[in-house]
Amino acid sequence: MINWHSTTPPQPPFIASIFNYYLSDNLEGYIEYDELTLELVKQIPGYLGYESFKHDNRGSFISYWKDRNAVKAWAQHPIHMEAKKLGKSSWYKYYHSIIAEVNSIHMHGLVG
């Protein structure tokens, strides 16, 4: 389920930043940075929401953005840059990221 930043989901088009990863055994500081970046990202203009999945040290984190400029602003945030550096050196055995344009969205059903 997507955790939208506002109560009304955005209308496409918008951007999805998809981050897939496999965690290493060295997760020192990982949880703290994960919580910190989830709070900080909400302050970036153009941030729309996220969804996240984790299982057996593998995961996906998808963040949604108004446009590529908003994605770029988050990519250049100093705390996010430090988290990426730590991720490369310690937290991830493997990762890849994809930036995609969302042209339509279909939702069905209620959760809760």
Q: What is the pLDDT of residue 37?
A: 94
Task: With cut-offs at 50, 70 and 90, classify the pLDDT of residue 40.
Answer: very high
Sign, Cα dihedral of 41, 76, 24, 28: negative
Decide if pLDDT at 27 tops 70. yes
Start-to-end Cα distance in the chain: 11
Q: What is the pTM of this model?
A: 0.90
> What domains appear along the chain, each with residue ranges and CATH number?
3-101 (3.30.70.100)
